[in-house]
Amino acid sequence: MEKIRKQLIEELKQAKSSQDIENIRIKYLGRKGVITLLAKETDFSKLSPEEKKSFGSRLNDLKNFAAEQLALAAESAKSSDIPKKIRELDLTMPGGNHRLGALHPITTVQLELQQIFQGMGFMVLQGPDVESEFYNFEAVNIPGDHPARDMQDTFWLENGMLLKTHTSAAQVRTLERFGAPVRAIFPGRCFRYESIDPSHENTFYQCEGLLVDENISVANLIAVMKTLLSEVFRREAKIRLRPGFFPFVEPGFELDLNCLICNGKGCPTCGDGWIELIPCGLVHPRVLEFGKIDPNKYSGFAFGLGLTRLAMMKYGVRDIRLFNSGDVRFYEQFAASL
Ligand code: DAH
C-alpha cells in the first residue's frame, strides 16, 4: 500500500492535464483500478480478526487519500487546460500606447468663443445649412440685383434653396423668433463656390454675433469686441475700426487687431502692424424691420467673425485646406489642446 501511495503521488506530479488526472483516477480507483483490485482480491478469510481490522482501515485510508489527491490535482489541472497563449499572458506587463482622440481645432476655438459669449449673456444658436434665398440674402438687405451677391458665389440647389454663404443668414431668423432685446451668437459652416488655395476654402466656419436692445451704439460694439479678443488671445487687445461696406449694417466697419506678434510695429504676418479680423457694424434698420423689430425703438450691432481664420491665427496654420483635409497627422497635433 505504501508503494501504491508513493507511485500515485509520483504520477500526479507528472500529470499535465485534466485528461492525465482522469487516466490516473481510472488506473487507481476505477473498476479495475489498483486500489479497487487490492480490496477485491485480498482473501480476508486468511486473515486474523486483528489483521482484517488493520488491513481494512489502512486500505480505507489509502482510498480516501487517493480520492482526495486526485480531486486536488483535478482542480489545479483546470487552469493548465487554459490555452498556452492565455496562460502565458502577463497581466503585469505595462499597457500598450493608446492614441488619444482630439477635438478639431475649429471646434476648440468655437467652444472657447461660446464660453466667452455665454459669459456675456449671449445665447448660442444654430441656423440651417440649407437656407432659403430670403434669409441668406433678401432679409439681410441684399436684393436680387445687388452687386454684393456676386461677392458670395453661391451653391444653388435644384429646389431653389442654397447652402448658406454666411452665418448672417440666421440674423432675421433670430429676430423673428426671439424679438428684442436679444443677444445671440450663431457659429456655423458656410459654403461658397470658390476654387480653393492656401487661403480660400469652399467650406469654412464663421461665428455671427447679434445684439439688439435700446440705445445700442458703436461704443457697445467696441467694448464687446475688445473683451472677446482679450480673452481669446489672453492679453489686452488693441483694436481699430475702419469703414467697411456690408449691406446689412450701417455704419459698417472692418475691425483690425493690433498685431500680437510684433506689437503693432509691422512684421511679415501683419504687414503694417494691423490684422483685419472682424467685419461688423450697427444693424441696418431694414434688417430690423425684416425681423419685425421697430428700428425707432431698438438698435443693435452685428459681427461676422471668421472662425476658420481665427483658428489659423491662433495656431499659426498657414494653409486653410488642412482643416478639411481629414489628415490625422494634422489633427493629432491638437490633441494637447483638449
Ligand atoms: N456676412 C459677412 C460675410 O460673410 C460678414 C459680416 C460682415 C457679418 C459684417 C456681419 C457684419 O454681421 O456686421 O462676408
Q: What is the DSSP string of 278-307?
A: EEEEEEPHHHHHHTT--TTT-EEEEEEEEH
Query: Does the Cβ of 208 fall within 6 Å of ligand 1?
Result: yes
d(CA 131, CA 137): 10
Query: Does the Cβ of 246 fall within 6 Å of ligand 1?
Result: yes
Query: Does the Cβ of 205 fall within 6 Å of ligand 1?
Result: no
What Cα–Cα distance (Å) separates residue 70 from each residue in 16, 38, 57?
13, 18, 20
Question: For the chain, what's the residue count?
Answer: 338
Mean pLDDT, the chain, rounded, equals 91
Q: Residue 295: what pLDDT?
A: 98
Query: Does the Cβ of 204 fall within 6 Å of ligand 1?
Result: no
- Cell readout for 240 is 481699430
Q: Name which residue sits closest to atom 3 of ligand 1, judged by CA.
A: 166
Query: What average pLDDT does the segment 39-52 reach?
Result: 85
Q: Name which residue sits closest to atom 7 of ligand 1, judged by CA.
A: 279
- Position 148 pLDDT exceeds 90: no
- Position 312 pLDDT exceeds 80: yes
For ligand 1, the distance from its centroid to the CA atom of residue 309, given in whole angstroms, is 14
Query: What average pLDDT does the segment 29-44 reach?
Result: 87
Query: Does the Cβ of 254 fall within 6 Å of ligand 1?
Result: no
Q: Residue 209: what pLDDT?
A: 98
Q: Name which residue sits closest to atom 12 of ligand 1, judged by CA.
A: 303
Query: What average pLDDT does the segment 49-75 reach?
Result: 89
Query: Does the Cβ of 281 fall within 6 Å of ligand 1?
Result: yes
Query: Does the Cβ of 210 fall within 6 Å of ligand 1?
Result: no
More confident residue, 333 or 216: 216
How buried is residue 18: exposed, middle or buried, by Cβ count under 10 Å (0-12/13-18/19+)? middle
Number of H helices and number of E strands within the chain? 13, 9
- Cell readout for 49 is 480478526
Query: What average pLDDT does the segment 147-151 reach?
Result: 78
Query: Does the Cβ of 302 fall within 6 Å of ligand 1?
Result: yes
Query: What average pLDDT does the segment 299-322 reach?
Result: 91
Q: Identify which of 172, 191, 225, 248 to mutate to test ligand 1's pocket (most ligand atoms within 8 A of the CB).
A: 248
Q: Residue 145: what pLDDT?
A: 87
Query: What average pLDDT does the segment 326-330 reach?
Result: 90
Strand arrangement of the beta sheet that strand 239-243 belongs to: 123-124, 182-191, 203-213, 299-306, 274-283, 249-258, 239-243
More confident residue, 338 or 222: 222
Query: Does the Cβ of 299 fall within 6 Å of ligand 1?
Result: no
Q: Residue 75: what pLDDT?
A: 84
- pLDDT tier, 268 (very low <50, low <70, confident <90, very high otherwise): confident
Write out pLDDT tens, residues 73-107.
Answer: 888 877 767 777 787 888 898 888 877 778 899 99
More confident residue, 297 or 62: 297
Q: Name which residue sits closest to atom 6 of ligand 1, judged by CA.
A: 304
Query: Does the Cβ of 280 fall within 6 Å of ligand 1?
Result: yes
Ranking 9-18, 34-43, 55-64, 82-91 by mean pLDDT, the lowest is 82-91
pTM more than 0.85: no
Contact residues for 167 (Cβ-Cβ < 8 A; gap 6+): 127, 186, 187, 188, 190, 206, 207, 208, 304
Write out pLDDT tens, residues 278-288.
Answer: 999 999 999 99
Query: What average pLDDT does the segment 297-303 reach?
Result: 98
- pLDDT tier, 338 (very low <50, low <70, confident <90, very high otherwise): very low
Q: Name which residue sits closest to atom 8 of ligand 1, judged by CA.
A: 304
Query: What average pLDDT does the segment 308-329 reach?
Result: 89
For ligand 1, the distance from its centroid to the CA atom of residue 139, given in whole angstroms, is 13
Q: Residue 314: what pLDDT?
A: 83
Q: Residue 113: what pLDDT?
A: 96
Q: Residue 337: what pLDDT?
A: 47
d(CA 258, CA 277): 10
The topology under which CATH files domain 105-331 is BirA Bifunctional Protein; domain 2 (3.30.930)
Q: Which residue has the cell 464663421?
A: 206
Q: Residue 42: what pLDDT?
A: 83
d(CA 19, CA 81): 9
Q: Residue 98: what pLDDT?
A: 77
> Residue 249 in contact with residue 310, Cβ under 8 Å?
no
Query: Does the Cβ of 304 fall within 6 Å of ligand 1?
Result: yes
DSSP state for residue 271 in the 8-state scheme: S
Show the beta-strand stretches assigned E in the chain. Answer: 123-124, 130-131, 162-163, 182-191, 203-213, 239-243, 249-258, 274-283, 299-306
Write out pLDDT tens, residues 224-242.
Answer: 999 999 998 888 889 999 9
φ and ψ at residue 216, rounded to 5 degrees: -90, 130
Query: Does the Cβ of 127 fall within 6 Å of ligand 1?
Result: no
